[in-house]
Amino acid sequence: MKKKLIAFDLEGPLSPMDHAFDSMALIENGDKIFSVLSRYDDLLALEGKEGYEPGDTLSLIIPFLLSHRIKEKDLLEVSSRAGLVKGAKELMGELKEMGWHVHIISTSYRQHAYSIASRLDVPITQDGERIVFCTELPLDDYYSRLGKEDFSLMEGVEKYILDNLYTEDLESGEKDREMKGYLDSFFWKQLKETRLGEIFTEVRVMGGRRKVRSVEIILQRHKAYLENIAVVGDSITDFQMLKAVEAGGGLAVVFNGNTYALSYGTCSLATTDMRNLQYLLDLWIQGGREKVRKDVNIRYNTGEEPFYHWLVGKEASEIQEIVQIHKGTRNVVRGRAAKLG
């Protein structure tokens, strides 16, 4: 009998909020600064910078959060305003009743990941083992290590970002070269000489290969293999997890995804209701990947939500057609956060 193992990304599949973006919005013009850093994050990830993982935006914003005295209680308060994706809580209940081992692997800070998991009735740990994997950020502890002199760089950096790097259309790429040069110098040279920089380098964001490692931990715990697990993701922070599970013969589901994710999944679901994922999981349990492929291809031309697609073997042009379908539901579900990551 197939092991019922599943791991969800949190922001997108389970909650529409981009918690880091909303946390930065506590700072004056923080939303604009975050947008620049998010674009910079994409540039670093695509460049393949050594030791850098997609989603490390969450480490890039830490100097800004600290310089504005943002506390853990503030992160929790922001999280309390987050919604849940329609049907997500009901799906979690159904999966547990059907014997699935549900996990969350989230780039989010612990304060947000634990908050959303609690609202979904997903335990943080079980039998002493982690169920929710996320980014640890003991923000309040850091202040005892810092003084006013540690923030001397930040005011000038914020001003430069706002005056020279921010534009309404960052995706055009017109600011990429200047952005890369300026922020490379700041993060990897100037900041490293400060105690603030020491903290910046300590944080390990749960993205990229670290998500793959979390999947491996889950599999080791259950004495299982990649072919035994389903994972659900939507963006660049998930592509390596999706790619690894797809290559290993498991089920890598892209939910309301962008190009970064849709290029690496097994199949996809574009919908405003997370309960529609149950259909794919039932097919997989009944007859494996081949059952999913056959049934999804039959449903391909229904012309109405939910939209299911088999992704394996698709040409780049076909993937771009699917991206456009997902873009519509992604915008509905995630709103302004749909453009981030």
Architecture in CATH of 19-78+147-202 = Orthogonal Bundle (1.10)
Task: Using CA atoms of 205, 207, 208, 214 in order, give the dihedral in degrees to the nearest 10.
Answer: 100
| pLDDT at residue 339 in the model | 56
Give the angle subtended at the CA of 76 by the CAs of 115 and 170, to the nearest 5°. Answer: 100
pLDDT at 338 > cutoff 50? no
Ramachandran region, residue 232 (left: φ > 0; alpha: ψ -120 to 50; beta: rest): beta
**5-16+85-137+207-339, CATH topology level:** Rossmann fold (3.40.50)
| pLDDT at residue 302 in the model | 62
* In the chain, ranges of CATH 1.10.3870.10 domains: 19-78+147-202
What is the per-residue pLDDT across 133-160, written as a single tens digit (0 to 9) for each?
Answer: 999 999 999 998 988 888 888 989 999 9
Q: How confident is the model at residue 240 (pLDDT cuts 50, 70, 90)?
A: very high
* In the chain, ranges of CATH 3.40.50.1000 domains: 5-16+85-137+207-339
Determine the Cα–Cα distance for residues 63 and 67; give it in Å rounded to an integer.
6
Averaged pLDDT for residues 76-84: 96
- Tell how many helices (H) and how many strands (E) occur in the chain: 16, 9
- Provide, rounded to the nearest whole percent, the portion of the chain with pLDDT above 90: 75
Nearest to 295 by CA among 303, 304, 286: 286
Higher pLDDT, 50 or 184: 184
What is the per-residue pLDDT across 281-328, written as a single tens digit (0 to 9) for each?
Answer: 999 999 999 999 999 987 765 667 899 999 999 999 999 999 999 988
Nearest 5°: phi and psi at 133?
-105, 130
Cβ proximity of 2 and 285 under 8 Å = yes
